[in-house]
Structure 1
Amino acid sequence: MVNAYSLISTEPGTTPELFDKIKELEGVESVEAVAGPYDIVARIKVESLEKLTGTVFGKIRGVDGVTSTTTLIVVEIE
Protein backbone atom coordinates (compact mmCIF):
# COMPACT_ATOMS: atom_id res chain seq x y z
CA MET A 1 0.00 0.00 0.00
CA VAL A 2 1.26 3.49 -0.83
CA ASN A 3 0.26 6.49 1.29
CA ALA A 4 0.97 10.04 0.16
CA TYR A 5 -0.03 13.65 0.58
CA SER A 6 -0.72 15.86 -2.40
CA LEU A 7 -0.25 19.58 -1.77
CA ILE A 8 -2.49 21.32 -4.27
CA SER A 9 -2.54 24.90 -5.56
CA THR A 10 -5.68 26.21 -7.23
CA GLU A 11 -6.75 29.18 -9.32
CA PRO A 12 -8.05 32.04 -7.15
CA GLY A 13 -11.68 31.62 -6.15
CA THR A 14 -11.93 27.93 -7.12
CA THR A 15 -10.87 26.24 -3.88
CA PRO A 16 -14.35 25.38 -2.51
CA GLU A 17 -15.47 23.83 -5.81
CA LEU A 18 -12.20 21.91 -6.28
CA PHE A 19 -12.27 20.73 -2.66
CA ASP A 20 -15.58 18.96 -3.37
CA LYS A 21 -14.34 17.47 -6.66
CA ILE A 22 -11.04 16.19 -5.25
CA LYS A 23 -12.60 14.54 -2.19
CA GLU A 24 -14.71 12.36 -4.52
CA LEU A 25 -11.74 10.99 -6.50
CA GLU A 26 -10.85 7.32 -6.15
CA GLY A 27 -7.80 6.86 -3.94
CA VAL A 28 -8.29 10.14 -2.05
CA GLU A 29 -8.79 9.29 1.63
CA SER A 30 -9.28 12.80 2.98
CA VAL A 31 -9.06 16.45 1.94
CA GLU A 32 -8.31 19.58 3.95
CA ALA A 33 -8.40 23.23 2.89
CA VAL A 34 -5.31 25.01 4.24
CA ALA A 35 -3.83 28.50 4.44
CA GLY A 36 -0.31 29.11 3.16
CA PRO A 37 1.48 28.36 -0.09
CA TYR A 38 -1.01 25.58 -0.95
CA ASP A 39 -4.80 25.62 -0.96
CA ILE A 40 -5.73 21.96 -0.47
CA VAL A 41 -3.99 18.94 1.05
CA ALA A 42 -5.24 15.52 -0.02
CA ARG A 43 -4.25 12.26 1.68
CA ILE A 44 -4.01 9.48 -0.87
CA LYS A 45 -3.99 5.73 -0.25
CA VAL A 46 -3.51 3.43 -3.26
CA GLU A 47 -2.14 -0.03 -4.00
CA SER A 48 1.00 0.93 -5.94
CA LEU A 49 3.24 3.73 -7.17
CA GLU A 50 1.66 3.33 -10.59
CA LYS A 51 -1.78 3.99 -9.06
CA LEU A 52 -0.35 6.99 -7.21
CA THR A 53 0.96 8.40 -10.49
CA GLY A 54 -2.44 7.88 -12.09
CA THR A 55 -4.23 9.51 -9.17
CA VAL A 56 -2.00 12.59 -9.08
CA PHE A 57 -1.34 13.14 -12.78
CA GLY A 58 -4.50 11.69 -14.26
CA LYS A 59 -7.12 12.63 -11.70
CA ILE A 60 -6.03 15.49 -9.43
CA ARG A 61 -4.05 17.44 -12.03
CA GLY A 62 -6.84 16.74 -14.50
CA VAL A 63 -9.33 18.80 -12.48
CA ASP A 64 -9.85 22.21 -14.11
CA GLY A 65 -8.53 24.91 -11.78
CA VAL A 66 -5.68 22.91 -10.28
CA THR A 67 -2.53 24.86 -11.09
CA SER A 68 0.14 22.66 -9.46
CA THR A 69 0.75 19.77 -7.10
CA THR A 70 3.57 18.62 -4.86
CA THR A 71 3.39 15.00 -3.77
CA LEU A 72 4.91 13.65 -0.57
CA ILE A 73 5.16 9.86 -0.30
CA VAL A 74 4.91 8.49 3.23
CA VAL A 75 7.88 6.29 4.20
CA GLU A 76 8.31 3.85 7.06
CA ILE A 77 11.09 4.57 9.53
CA GLU A 78 12.31 1.53 11.38
Structure 2
Amino acid sequence: MIKAFVLIVVDPAETQSVFDSLQGVDGISEVYQVMGPYDIVAVIEAPSITQVPALISQHIRVVEGIESTTTCVTFPDS
Protein backbone atom coordinates (compact mmCIF):
# COMPACT_ATOMS: atom_id res chain seq x y z
CA MET A 1 0.00 0.00 0.00
CA ILE A 2 1.32 3.44 -0.96
CA LYS A 3 0.64 6.39 1.34
CA ALA A 4 0.92 10.03 0.27
CA PHE A 5 0.33 13.37 1.93
CA VAL A 6 -1.46 15.95 -0.21
CA LEU A 7 -0.73 19.50 0.98
CA ILE A 8 -3.58 21.72 -0.15
CA VAL A 9 -3.90 25.49 -0.50
CA VAL A 10 -7.52 26.60 -0.36
CA ASP A 11 -9.46 29.81 -0.98
CA PRO A 12 -9.94 31.02 2.64
CA ALA A 13 -13.69 31.37 2.14
CA GLU A 14 -13.91 27.70 1.08
CA THR A 15 -11.78 25.98 3.75
CA GLN A 16 -14.61 24.27 5.65
CA SER A 17 -16.42 23.31 2.45
CA VAL A 18 -13.26 21.73 0.97
CA PHE A 19 -12.53 19.94 4.25
CA ASP A 20 -16.06 18.52 4.34
CA SER A 21 -15.90 17.50 0.66
CA LEU A 22 -12.69 15.52 1.13
CA GLN A 23 -13.90 13.51 4.11
CA GLY A 24 -15.30 10.16 3.08
CA VAL A 25 -13.73 10.16 -0.40
CA ASP A 26 -12.58 6.68 -1.39
CA GLY A 27 -8.80 6.52 -1.05
CA ILE A 28 -8.53 9.43 1.41
CA SER A 29 -7.90 7.97 4.85
CA GLU A 30 -7.45 11.19 6.86
CA VAL A 31 -8.07 14.93 6.41
CA TYR A 32 -6.70 17.71 8.63
CA GLN A 33 -7.03 21.50 8.70
CA VAL A 34 -3.57 22.92 9.44
CA MET A 35 -1.83 26.26 9.99
CA GLY A 36 1.07 27.41 7.86
CA PRO A 37 1.61 27.67 4.11
CA TYR A 38 -1.01 24.95 3.52
CA ASP A 39 -4.60 24.89 4.71
CA ILE A 40 -5.50 21.21 4.52
CA VAL A 41 -3.53 17.97 4.53
CA ALA A 42 -5.16 14.88 3.07
CA VAL A 43 -3.63 11.45 3.60
CA ILE A 44 -4.28 9.13 0.70
CA GLU A 45 -3.69 5.40 0.40
CA ALA A 46 -3.54 3.49 -2.87
CA PRO A 47 -2.54 -0.06 -3.80
CA SER A 48 0.19 1.22 -6.13
CA ILE A 49 1.98 4.45 -7.01
CA THR A 50 0.43 4.38 -10.47
CA GLN A 51 -3.00 5.04 -8.92
CA VAL A 52 -1.94 8.13 -6.96
CA PRO A 53 -2.11 10.67 -9.83
CA ALA A 54 -5.63 9.61 -10.82
CA LEU A 55 -6.86 9.80 -7.23
CA ILE A 56 -5.48 13.33 -6.92
CA SER A 57 -6.73 14.59 -10.30
CA GLN A 58 -10.17 12.94 -10.19
CA HIS A 59 -11.08 13.28 -6.51
CA ILE A 60 -9.06 16.10 -4.98
CA ARG A 61 -8.10 18.70 -7.61
CA VAL A 62 -11.72 18.89 -8.84
CA VAL A 63 -13.06 20.16 -5.50
CA GLU A 64 -14.16 23.78 -5.80
CA GLY A 65 -12.05 26.11 -3.67
CA ILE A 66 -8.76 24.23 -4.02
CA GLU A 67 -6.10 26.56 -5.43
CA SER A 68 -3.09 24.22 -5.51
CA THR A 69 -1.75 20.91 -4.23
CA THR A 70 1.66 19.48 -3.45
CA THR A 71 1.99 15.73 -3.03
CA CYS A 72 4.58 13.94 -0.89
CA VAL A 73 4.67 10.18 -1.47
CA THR A 74 6.12 8.04 1.31
CA PHE A 75 8.75 5.38 0.72
CA PRO A 76 7.30 1.86 0.69
CA ASP A 77 7.91 -0.21 3.80
CA SER A 78 11.15 -2.16 3.54
TM-score normalized with structure 2 length: 0.91
In structure 2, the residue matched to 1:2 is: 2
Moved over 2 A (4+): none
Letter in 1 for 2:35: A
Paired residue total: 78
1:15-64 deviations in whole A, cap 9, x for unaligned?
A: 11110101121100000000110000011111122221111111100111
Letter in 2 for 1:67: E
In structure 1, the residue matched to 2:40 is: 40
Identity of aligned residues (%): 36
Report the 3-state secondary structure (helix = DSSP H, G, I; strand = E; otherwise coil) of the residue aligned with 1:3: strand
Structure 1 unmatched ranges of 5 or more: none
CA root-mean-square deviation: 1.3
TM-score normalized with structure 1 length: 0.91
